[in-house]
């Protein structure tokens, strides 16, 4: 097993990886740029090293991070999610310098991170893919021809896209022309590549992703599925495991497809295979070659520590479980508590956390890197914390989610928490009847009232007085 591990990330996922290291007797090394000088991941690591004033550059400097790992005696690097997590260059440089990269090899990562290459691999494996272009779309004329062939609505997608970026829906030829240059520009700025492909837009579908784990000894298993259909503008807000929409037969089928996909490309470590499901139609969308933000709910229903398993696999060990050993119990929901104001078009609400109290009790987990007094910087993702609730039944999980959201105190900024309470109370959601269009179809969910206790009111008054006095 590794002696020391460098965590090439920040925030809650860096804290999460550090906790796994502590349990496994592995020393953890954190990195930080100036805005994260007082970050919780820095405080909790065994060692921490400054990598520059620029908020992002230090986290994205592959050579510097690998050199730091070598200088500090690290055996391995864990990239978490985001930042460098799907950067094949990091995996390649790690291999060249004798550092173990905790993830798939560089060639597999590069192949699956390119969505057109991934679609081609899935076709060869007999996994159904959404109708669309065979590869990148070279020009607007070809885009028009393909859209006319497969039928509107269609989606432009960046071949290297992710996180809801580099995606544009087109309902007709006019929107297609308007979106073409915009998505090319977005893709170039966000991912350094102006390559896009086109696929059929499957409306009123369910976004289903399957967690897979694979070792270097030929062992490949799935840990069942997560339903990520509660989205806004193609960005996930809440995730559910298992999906209330799948029949047992569909659950077994998507699990088998995901395992087949991983075996076909020679995958190793943790990954996620994503599908769109509508009725009995199931289509492959993409494969994420890293741990996902929402891995927590899979852990909740299976009892498996996915980060720990990642580290074991990277160390050359076999999977801890066989497929027949994996069972799922109860239901789990993850809420992405973002520093955003839902009633103001989800605008960011960065600032100082004046008070933070984490909810607790049976079946409640929080993954975060914030604390009272923490200044949420404006340079990164708006995620403040992940609130995870688990219950034996769907109804118990919903009620526990409302209770946990009410228990939480996160003051000084606006968050998405009250918006999630409205979703949990909605009759349609409580029936388990929701799809990717749910949020857009229910604008009334934003008509919630902000509840304030006397202490919060006093703090608001004190802040107003201080501002008026010029303090």
Catalytically active residues, by annotation: 290
Of 206, 148, 214, 213, which Cα lies nearest the Cα of 177?
A: 148
Residue-wise DSSP of 383-432: EEEEEEEEESSHHHHHHHHHHHHHH-EEESS--SHHHHHHHHH-HHHHTT
DSSP string for 169-232: EESSHHHHHHHHHHHHHHHHHHHS---EEEEE--TT-EEEEEEEEE-TTS-EEEEEEEEEEEEE
Q: Which of 87, 117, 116, 382 is nearest to 232 (CA)?
A: 382
Neighbours of 227 (CB within 10 A): 25
Integer Cα distance of 206 and 228 in angstroms = 7
The CA-based angle 194-198-199, given to 5 degrees, is 145
Tokens of 392: 């034996």
Q: Give the residues across from 284 on adjacent strands.
A: 129, 275
Report how far apart, in Å, the C-alpha atoms of 200 and of each of 15, 131, 197, 285, 462 are: 39, 5, 11, 11, 54
For residues 135 and 198, what is the distance between their CA atoms, to the nearest angstrom?
9
Residue 229 tokens, joined: 């259909």
């Amino acid at each position: 097993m590794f002696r020391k591990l460098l965590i090439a990330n920040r925030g809650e996922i860096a804290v999460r990886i550090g906790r796994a290291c502590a349990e496994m007797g592995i020393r953890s090394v954190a990195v930080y740029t100036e805005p994260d000088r007082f970050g919780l991941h820095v405080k909790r690591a065994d060692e921490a090293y400054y990598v520059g004033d620029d908020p992002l550059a230090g986290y994205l400097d592959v050579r510097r991070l690998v050199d730091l790992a070598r200088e500090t005696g690290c055996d391995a690097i864990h990239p978490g999610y985001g930042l460098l997590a799907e950067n094949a260059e990091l995996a390649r440089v790690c291999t060249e310098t004798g550092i173990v990269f905790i993830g798939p090899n560089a060639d597999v990562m590069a192949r699956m991170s390119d969505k057109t290459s991934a679609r081609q691999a899935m076709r060869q494996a007999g996994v159904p893919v959404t109708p669309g272009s065979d590869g990148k779309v070279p020009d607007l004329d070809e885009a028009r021809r393909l859209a006319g062939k497969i039928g509107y609505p269609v989606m432009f997608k960046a071949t290297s896209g992710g996180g809801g970026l580099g995606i544009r829906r087109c309902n007709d030829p006019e929107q297609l022309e308007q979106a073409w240059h915009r998505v090319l520009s977005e893709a170039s700025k966000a991912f350094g590549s102006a390559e896009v492909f086109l696929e059929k837009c499957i409306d009123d579908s369910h976004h289903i992703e399957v967690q897979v784990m694979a070792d270097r000894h030929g062992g490949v298993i799935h840990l069942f599925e997560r339903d990520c259909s509660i989205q806004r503008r193609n960005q996930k807000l809440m995730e559910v495991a298992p999906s209330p929409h799948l029949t047992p037969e569909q659950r077994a089928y998507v699990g088998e497809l995901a395992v087949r996909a991983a075996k076909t490309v020679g995958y190793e470590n943790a990954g996620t295979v994503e599908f769109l499901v509508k009725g009995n139609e199931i289509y492959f969308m993409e494969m994420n070659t890293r741990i996902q933000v929402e891995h927590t709910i899979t852990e909740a229903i299976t009892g498996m520590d996915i980060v720990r398993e990642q580290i074991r696999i990277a160390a050359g060990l076999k999977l801890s479980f066989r497929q027949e050993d994996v069972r799922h119990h109860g239901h789990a929901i993850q809420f992405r508590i973002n520093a955003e104001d839902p009633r103001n078009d989800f605008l960011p609400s960065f600032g100082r956390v004046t008070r933070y109290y984490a909810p607790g009790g049976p079946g409640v987990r929080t993954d975060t890197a914030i604390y009272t007094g923490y200044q949420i910087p404006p340079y990164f993702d708006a995620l403040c914390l992940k609130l995870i609730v688990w219950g034996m039944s769907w109804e118990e999980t919903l009620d526990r989610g409302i209770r946990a959201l009410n228990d939480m105190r996160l003051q000084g900024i606006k968050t998405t928490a009250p918006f999630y309470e409205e979703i949990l109370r909605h009759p349609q959601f409580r029936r388990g009847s929701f799809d990717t269009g749910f949020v857009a179809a229910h604008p009334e969910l934003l008509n919630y009232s902000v509840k304030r206790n006397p202490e919060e009111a006093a703090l608001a008054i004190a802040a107003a007085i201080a501002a008026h006095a010029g303090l």
